[in-house]
C-alpha cells in the first residue's frame, strides 16, 4: 500500500513540475452509504472531504483527496471511522456562454489510494482487530457553480468507491457517496 501512496504523491509532484496553471482547494460535507454482504443491512457514514487540485492545461487537473467519516449505526460493535487518501486525474469542462465566463463547471474524476478503517471489528488471522487498511478506488463527478472571481460552490459531487476492508461478511464494499462544498482558486 505504501508503494501506491508514494506513486500517487510522485504523480502530484509531476503535475506541479509540468506547469500547473492554478491550484484549487476545496472542502465540504460527505455522506456515503454501503450495504454489507450477507447481512443485508445498509450502513451510512457522515463526515467531510478536503481536496487539492493542480490545474493543468486543456481542462485537466491532478487531484489529491482526503475524506474522514464515521458510521451512524450507533452500535459499539459496528461503529467505524473510515479515512481515505486518494489521488488521480480530473477532467473539467467549463460551460461558457458567448462572450461570458463559465458559470458552471461539470467535472469527472478517477481516484485511487488507501482506505483505513478504525474503531471497528476486522477479522485477521482468526481474531478481530480494531484497524484495517486496503486499496480504495473511486470514480465520479460533480458540478461547481462560480460565485466569485476565485470562489465556487460545489453544488454536488457524486461518486462510487470500492474498498476491500475485511469484515464478517467478506472483503468487498461498494460505497455510493454524495457531498457538497466550497472551492477556492489560489491562482
What is the rounded CA–CA span in Å between residue 31 and residue 122? 22
Ordered by where they begin, the domains of the chain are 2-185 (2.40.160.20)
Q: In this prediction, what percent of the chain has a pLDDT beyond 90?
A: 45
Looking at the chain, the number of H-run helices and the number of E-run strands are 1, 10
| pLDDT value, residue 122 | 75
Instruction: Please say if the pLDDT value at position 38 is more than 80.
Output: no
Cell matching residue 100: 461570458
pTM of structure: 0.82
Model pLDDT for residues 56-72, shown as the tens digit of each residue: 888 899 999 999 999 86
Model pLDDT for residues 116-142, shown as the tens digit of each residue: 988 777 777 778 777 788 899 999 999
Amino acid at each position: 500500500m505504501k508503494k501506491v501512496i508514494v506513486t500517487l504523491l510522485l504523480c502530484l509532484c509531476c503535475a506541479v513540475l509540468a506547469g500547473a496553471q492554478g491550484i484549487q482547494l476545496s472542502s465540504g460535507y460527505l455522506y456515503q452509504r454501503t450495504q454489507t454482504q450477507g447481512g443485508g443491512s445498509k450502513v451510512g457514514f457522515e463526515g467531510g472531504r478536503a481536496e487539492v487540485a493542480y490545474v493543468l492545461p486543456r481542462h485537466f487537473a491532478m487531484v489529491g483527496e482526503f475524506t474522514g467519516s464515521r458510521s451512524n449505526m450507533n452500535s459499539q460493535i459496528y461503529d467505524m471511522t473510515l479515512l481515505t487518501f486518494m489521488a488521480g486525474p480530473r477532467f473539467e469542462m467549463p460551460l461558457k456562454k458567448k462572450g461570458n465566463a463559465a458559470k458552471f463547471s461539470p467535472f469527472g474524476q478517477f481516484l485511487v489510494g488507501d482506505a483505513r478503517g478504525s474503531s471497528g471489528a476486522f477479522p485477521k488471522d482468526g481474531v478481530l482487530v480494531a484497524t484495517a487498511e486496503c486499496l480504495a478506488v473511486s470514480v465520479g463527478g460533480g458540478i461547481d457553480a462560480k460565485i466569485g472571481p476565485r470562489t465556487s460552490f460545489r453544488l454536488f459531487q457524486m461518486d462510487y468507491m470500492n474498498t476491500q476492508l475485511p469484515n464478517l461478511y467478506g472483503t468487498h464494499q461498494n460505497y455510493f457517496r454524495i457531498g457538497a462544498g466550497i472551492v477556492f482558486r489560489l491562482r
